[in-house]
């Protein structure tokens, strides 16, 4: 018996070993015998690793260059393309965010919009309609109780969790490239929390539409965005209805069902709305225009206004399946329609997406010379998007945008040609496009290295990574990102944030970048804990000058730092510095003691019994590395690190 178990175990181990072994080989089909061509540009392996990390992560963590060199640059990159590294500690951090596990229907029910809550409360008889008119405050408590009783939460909490998650994930995921690409595609297919109708669907949009497709085929991500509630609402296609069809005549399958079931619609406001809605609807070109101009072909991609109008007709009927408490009447009615009847009528119900054939324009359409329909139904739209995804203009437009993101604001044409060729030949496979990019000498050229300006988000997350920060209040970092000019998820226009240095660097924003560096390094951002001594393995630098050099190299590895060090040196030698620091330390009023992560800083203080040996440090025990008070870390080291984070060199990647 015992023997059998042993036997089974060893077989199991063998099988496991084989799986691991084979997966190792399976996992590197893209691995090249040849190395990335960085030597051509005179880069050392370490410099090349630094460049690679600057392009495909949110910033190198201390020691990460060593790891990449050790595993081999090509192997590291392939692992990143696979995006399947374990993320246990991150997942543990995210486990507490309940909202992030919900699907759209659950979100709509649990985080309803304020006005919907009010209407539901009125319809449920909890709030008297007349009291609404008289005194707003009187029913606020009632509403809050109503929400609690029904398991509803304020919508704002949803966005807070979502943003907290984004900060943590970007800072800590091992699959950095996937997250960087998620950011890229989100911005490319931008939607915005500023548009109330689409806001609730954005967490799902990033989680289920963008991230899983971020390293897939372009056609897949295009189709997935087209069918997502966030995009359908953001660019209005959900409401687009053909001018002449059953829907407008009130003969549609869904409409009949809904109107027959009006009894189930308790909310009279909503019923009136439904009856009225038909009159005000018609074709809406917004999505059709932007899908060509911004998502695929580009503004000069070879389409006309006529094509836009025709494409809009192709996409009529692409809408959202009813969901949520507020829509429960409609949903009930529609749910009653059997799938056979649905299918027979040409409807397509796929998750949150609904193709409502009654709203679709059944006539024949022509877009860029290609015919769609008549009576092609849902498939017309699928074919249209596939046609757009495979157009040479799209290949050029998308690959240029990728090159601008990962190479420089003005990538060389020779590189763009290679990338768009791959895009066309490999069916819009994003991984293959990225491989072509890093295999090209242009990627490693001196004109690309450090030529990108970090966006505020890249700066904040990168700084947290550079300093090995422990983030317990991610929203605090988000607030700084916002202050520096990148309110992520709130960019209003469908263009997304412009990806160029000039956009990010303006006077107000630049000062805030400097202030961010100072606040972060001095421990003044609540919930962002850093330990500067630990960063250098608690080795005490020999002198102030040595500390400057050491920390510059730790934070900005593999760069030419002569200039930065030279211009920071006077800071160390300022004869009045210590006096000023002391004063600041002594003068910090109690009012400012509240927020900073004081406990954490105290630990540094205890460890910092080094003797100041640098110029200007004489007789000033502790000041250099551990000048703390409850308002934050006022040591010169924190000051130096703050200036490094805010320095021009650190703004580049």
The DSSP output letter for 240 is -
Least Cβ distance, residue 595 to another protein (angstroms): 9
Output the CA–CA distances (angstroms, integers) from residue 471 to 141, 167, 477, 599, in the order listed.
34, 9, 9, 15
Asked whether 295 and 186 are in contact (CB, 8 A), the reply is no
Please state whether 317 falls in left (phi above 0), alpha (psi between -120 and 50) or beta: left
Which helix (H) or strand (E) is 367 found in, with range?
strand 365-367
Question: Binding another protein by CB under 8 A: which of 310, 471, 646, 653?
Answer: 646
| Non-local CB neighbours of 198 within 8 Å, separated by 6+ positions | 191, 192, 229, 230, 231, 232, 233, 234
Provide, rounded to whole angstroms, the least separation between the CB of residue 139 and another protein.
11
67-75 contacts at long range (C-beta below 8 A, 24 or more positions apart) = 69/45, 73/35, 73/36, 73/38, 73/45, 73/48, 73/49, 74/31, 74/32, 74/35, 74/36, 75/28, 75/31
Using the contact rule CB under 8 A, the part of the chain among 93-101, 106-114, 388-396, 483-491 near another protein is: 483-491
Closer to another protein by CB, 252 or 631: give it: 631
Which residue number, 109 or 635, has a Cβ lying nearer to another protein? 635
Decide: is 508 part of the binding site for another protein (CB under 8 A): yes
Instruction: Based on DSSP, count helices (H) and strands (E) in the chain, helices before strands.
Output: 38, 9
Q: Is 222 in the site for another protein (CB under 8 A)?
A: no
Q: How far is the CB of 378 from another protein (least distance, A)?
A: 25
Interaction with another protein in 226-265: which residues (CB under 8 A)? 235-236
Q: Which is nearer to another protein, 197 or 220 (CB)?
A: 197
For another protein, which is the closer residue by CB, 346 or 517? 517
Closest approach of another protein to the CB of residue 352, in Å? 20
Cα(626)–Cα(634) distance, rounded to whole angstroms? 8
Measure the CA–CA gap between 91 and 275, rounded to whole angstroms: 46
For residue 453, give the DSSP letter.
B
Q: Which position among 102, 345, 386, 510 is part of the footprint of another protein (CB under 8 A)? A: 510
The residues in 576-615 that bind another protein, with binding defined as CB under 8 A, are: 577, 580-581, 583-585, 587-589, 592
Q: What is the DSSP string of 70-124?
A: HH-HHHHHHHHHHT----HHHHHHHTT-GGGG--HHHHHHHS--HHHHHHHHHHT
Site string for another protein, 532-571 (x = CB under 8 A): -------------------------------xx--xx-xx
The correct pick among 53, 81, 258, 294 for binding another protein (CB under 8 A) is 294
> Which of these ranges, 77-85, 353-361, 381-389, 635-643, lies near another protein under the rule CB under 8 A?
635-643
Task: For the chain, state the CA radius of gyration.
Answer: 29
CA distances for 187 relative to 236, 380, 385, 435, 495, angstroms:
18, 27, 19, 21, 8
Binding residues for another protein restricted to 32-51, rule: CB under 8 A: none
Establish whether the linkage from the previous residue to 221 is cis, with ω within 30° of 0. no
Q: Which is nearer to another protein, 393 or 651 (CB)?
A: 651
What CA–CA distances, in Å, run from 354 to 108, 357, 488?
A: 17, 9, 29
Which residue number, 23 or 269, has a Cβ lying nearer to another protein? Answer: 269
What is the contact mask toward another protein in residues 157 to 196, using x (rule: CB under 8 A)?
Answer: -------------------------------------xxx
CA distance 446 to 653: 12
When asked if residue 634 is in the footprint of another protein (CB under 8 A), the reply is yes
Question: Binding mask 68-97 vs another protein (x if CB under 8 A, - otherwise)?
Answer: ------------------------------
How near is the Cβ of 414 to another protein at its closest, in Å? 24
Q: Of residues 197, 208, 470, 600, which one binds another protein by CB under 8 A?
A: 197
By CB under 8 A, is residue 490 in contact with another protein? yes
Q: Should residue 373 be labelled a site residue for another protein when binding is judged by CB under 8 A?
A: no
Q: Pick between residue 22 and residue 495 the one whose CB is nearest to another protein.
A: 495
């Amino acid at each position: 018996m015992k023997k059998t178990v042993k036997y089974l175990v060893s077989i199991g181990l063998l099988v496991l070993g084989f799986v691991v072994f084979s997966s190792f080989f399976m996992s590197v089909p893209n691995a090249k015998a040849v190395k990335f061509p960085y030597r051509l540009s005179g880069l050392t392996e370490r410099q090349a690793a630094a460049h690679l990390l600057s392009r495909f992560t949110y910033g190198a963590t201390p020691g990460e260059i060593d790891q990449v060199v050790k595993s081999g640059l090509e192997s590291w990159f392939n692992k990143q393309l696979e995006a399947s590294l374990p993320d246990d500690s991150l997942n543990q951090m995210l486990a507490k965010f309940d909202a992030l596990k919900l699907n759209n229907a659950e979100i709509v029910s649990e985080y309803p919009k304020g006005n919907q809550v009010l209407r539901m409360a009125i319809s449920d008889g909890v709030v008297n309609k007349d009291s609404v008119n008289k005194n707003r405050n009187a029913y606020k408590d009632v509403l809050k109780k109503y929400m609690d009783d029904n398991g509803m939460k304020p919508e704002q909490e949803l966005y807070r969790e979502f943003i907290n998650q984004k900060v943590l994930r970007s800072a800590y995921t091992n699959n950095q490239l996937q997250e960087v690409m998620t950011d890229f595609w989100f911005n490319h297919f931008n939607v915005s929390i500023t548009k109330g109708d689409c806001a609730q669907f954005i967490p799902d949009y990033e989680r289920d539409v963008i991230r899983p497709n971020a390293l897939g085929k372009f056609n897949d991500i295009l189709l997935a965005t087209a069918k997502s509630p966030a995009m359908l609402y953001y660019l209005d296609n959900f409401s687009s209805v053909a001018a002449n069809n059953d829907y407008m005549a009130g003969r549609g399958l869904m409409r009949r069902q809904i109107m027959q079931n009006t009894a189930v619609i308790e909310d009279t406001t909503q019923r009136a709305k439904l009856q009225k809605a038909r009159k005000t609807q018609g074709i809406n070109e917004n999505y059709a225009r932007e899908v060509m101009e911004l998502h695929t072909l580009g503004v000069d991609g070879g389409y006309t206004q006529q094509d836009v109008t025709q494409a809009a007709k192709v996409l009529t009927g692409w809408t959202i399946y009813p969901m949520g408490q507020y829509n429960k009447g409609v949903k009930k009615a529609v749910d009653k329609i059997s799938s056979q009847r649905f299918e027979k009528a040409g409807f397509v119900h796929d998750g949150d997406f609904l193709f409502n054939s009654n709203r679709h324009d059944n006539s024949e359409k022509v877009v860029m010379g290609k015919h769609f329909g008549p009576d092609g139904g849902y498939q017309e739209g699928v074919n249209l998007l596939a046609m757009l995804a495979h157009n040479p203009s799209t290949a050029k437009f998308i690959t240029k945008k990728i090159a601008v993101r990962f190479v420089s604001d003005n990538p060389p044409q020779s590189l763009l040609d290679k990338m768009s060729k791959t895009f066309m030949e490999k069916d819009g496979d994003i991984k293959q496009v990225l491989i072509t990019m890093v295999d090209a000498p242009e990627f490693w050229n001196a004109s690309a290295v450090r030529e990108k300006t970090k966006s505020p988000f890249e700066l904040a997350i990168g700084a947290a990574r550079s300093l090995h920060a422990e983030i317990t209040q991610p929203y605090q970092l988000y607030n700084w990102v916002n202050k520096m000019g990148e309110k992520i998820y709130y960019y209003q226009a469908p263009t997304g944030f412009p990806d160029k240095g000039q956009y990010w660097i303006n006077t107000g924003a630049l000062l805030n970048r400097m202030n961010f560096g100072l606040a972060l390094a001095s421990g003044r951002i609540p919930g962002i804990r850093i330990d500067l001594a630990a960063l250098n393995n608690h080795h005490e630098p020999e002198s102030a000058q040595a500390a400057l050099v050491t920390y510059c190299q730790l934070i900005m590895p593999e760069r030419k730092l002569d200039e930065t060090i030279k211009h920071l040196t006077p800071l160390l030698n300022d004869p009045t510095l210590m006096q000023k620091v002391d004063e600041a330390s002594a003068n910090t009023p109690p009012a400012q003691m509240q927020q900073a992560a004081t406990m954490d800083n105290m630990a540094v203080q205890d460890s910092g019994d080094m003797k100041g040996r640098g110029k200007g440090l004489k007789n000033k025990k502790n000041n250099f590395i551990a000048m703390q008070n409850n308002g934050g870390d006022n040591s010169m080291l924190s000051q130096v690190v703050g200036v490094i984070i805010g320095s021009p060199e650190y703004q580049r990647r």
